[in-house]
Amino acid sequence: MNKERIKSIATLIVIFIAFLTACKKDGNIADLFLQQTPDELKFSWQGEEKGFAIRTNSGAWKVTATDAPWLTFDVTSGEGNGQRESILAKASINRGVEREGKILIQSGDQKREIMVKQEDGRISLGEASLAVKSFAIKQPIENVFLIFPYQKGTAGEELKFSVDFSGTGAQGLNPIKDYAVTLDGLTGEVKIPISGTPTAEGEIVMTIKLNEIEASTMPNPVTAEVFDPNRPHPDAAAFVISGWLAYPNGSDANHEYIQFLALRDINFSNENFTVITCNNAGQTNGIPPADGWITGAVRTYKFNITSGFIRKGEYFYVGGTSEKINGPNSAAGSIPSNKWVKKHAYNTEPGDDGIGSTTTNLLANSGLTYGVAAFRGTNINHDTEPMDVVFLRNPETSYTLFGMVNGANRGFRVTNTDYYAVTGDIKYINQYNASNVYYNVASVGGAGATASTVGQNNFLELRGEYNVVTAKWSTSRTRNIISLTTSSVISAIETTNSTKMFPAP
């Protein structure tokens, strides 16, 4: 074969290859193809449109999504000529969990898939609240609402709720079924009215249900109480601590006092009580109180209340003998005699039953955590649970308010109050376990030295509300300072903001 012939054949081969390549690019004679982009589409729960593209040279094509019926397309079929085709996929709103599927593209024997996902669209409902937590028996319930927030809503969407009422106090409440609420937007608040006339005392448990659709989170049941205003809870305190004066004008000796709120009529001659103060000055890294509230000496001082009468809803006082509102220069009887149920000259006499040395400083003016406890009866030991207890200043780990004495736990007992909880062996302030986990470490005053420094001429007013029907604090006590002068009168420390009881007397 001569060289020219070989050269011609080689040239023909190159042209043929080039022709084949050109045909493949043009999609005319070459292999049939089907292409798509992208490989995955993700949609928001609210529903939206997203585009994808296909390109084929194999003639008729179609797009389906049989396992994702929540998708629709602006174009579902066409004729492929190698040109790019753009298609819009639209996802409807998702009111369920995250969902997945695929878009199937077919052209002749060729198939391509695009994976699709839509995020969880379940509405989220927050915790419910009830402004009124107690209802009087045989009194109509009006203008009371279960209120809870929502997220992932759509404006104008209608949801239907039911509320199941259970418990002994639920009798007489009107059933709630398919109560319709129209949402305002993406986030907002649901209000469901509660109505009826309770006919039995006891607890009401309100369980909220969402009908027709599923929520990702639901409110926990809400509880309320039906009470007889004339019958307090058997565990309710007889009185609670509502304030004190620790640093009067002029002199502390015999002029300090503690204020209490009576929660029922009390004849102290027939029903005795005890009030004990504790002063822990100098006890950082010190010695645990071996006998708790009856340790005595400089740490605790005891008052036995065994006479007097006080009516429900009245404030009364325990302390020195002066009956003066702010030290020796105040007017005599500025706290009237009939408001005192115990006066004791603590500056010259030891505490009742020998518990507490004479002192000129009954309550601390500053420094470490200190407090007051009230007990039923007068026979108190290291393990007697108080009826009420208040401390100022959060205890720190170095404060020796609790510890081991002769192999046994010792400290200042607390009770279930607005700040403390008694569960099993956990029953002391600042109690810790073998792992150095501390319990009951709060106080009315909060943390830091200023919490216990009420200051001279200042009455410590405690503001809260005690529910005698549930025997619980419906509003925890907070600290407020009332500045006194020597001419102040009793109304200065018995205010509309002072500790209150529910129901009101």
Contact (CB, 8 A) for 454 and 460: yes
For the chain, report the end-to-end CA distance as a whole number of angstroms: 127
**What are the tens digits of pLDDT across the range 256-265?**
999 999 999 9
Cα angle 380, 404, 370 (rounded to 5 degrees) comes to: 55
Q: Are 160 and 139 in contact (CB under 8 A)?
A: no
Three state DSSP letters for 207-235: EEEEECCCEEECCCCEEEEEECCCCCCCC
CATH class of 34-118: mainly beta
Contact between 429 and 411 under an 8 Å Cβ cutoff? The reply is yes
- Over residues 452-462, the mean pLDDT reads 93
Residue 307 to residue 375: CA distance in whole angstroms: 15
pLDDT band at 12; cut points 50, 70, 90: very low
| Under 8 Å between Cβ of 70 and 90 | no
Q: What angle do CA 215, 217, 219 make, to 5 degrees?
A: 110
**Under 8 Å between Cβ of 463 and 476:** no
Mean pLDDT for 456-482 is 95
pLDDT, averaged across the chain? 91
- Using alpha carbons, select from 285, 283, 278, 280 the residue that is nearest to residue 398: 285
Cα separation of 318 and 42, whole Å? 71
pLDDT tens profile 166-217? 999 999 999 999 999 999 999 999 999 999 999 999 999 999 999 989 999 9
Q: Say if residues 343 and 275 touch (Cβ distance below 8 Å).
A: no
Please give the pLDDT value at position 6. 42
- pLDDT (tens digit, 9 = 90+) per residue, 73-97? 999 999 998 999 999 999 999 999 9
Could you state, in order of their start, the residue ranges of all structural domains in the chain? 34-118, 123-227, 239-502
Q: Edge-to-edge strands of the sheet including 202-211? A: 134-136, 222-227, 202-211, 158-166, 176-182
The 10s digit of each residue's pLDDT in 17-42 is 433 343 444 444 447 888 989 999 99
Torsion of CA 233, 385, 447, 438, to 10 degrees: -110
Question: What CATH class does 123-227 carry?
Answer: mainly beta
Alpha-carbon gap, residue 471 to 240, rounded angstroms: 11
Domains 34-118 and 123-227 share a fold: yes
Tell me how far apart the alpha carbons of residues 165 and 174 are, in angstroms, rounded to a whole number.
Answer: 9
Which residues lie across from 439 on neighbouring strands?
431
Q: How many residues belong to the chain?
A: 505
146: which strand partners?
Answer: 130, 192
Rounded distance, CA 76 to CA 479, Å?
Answer: 71
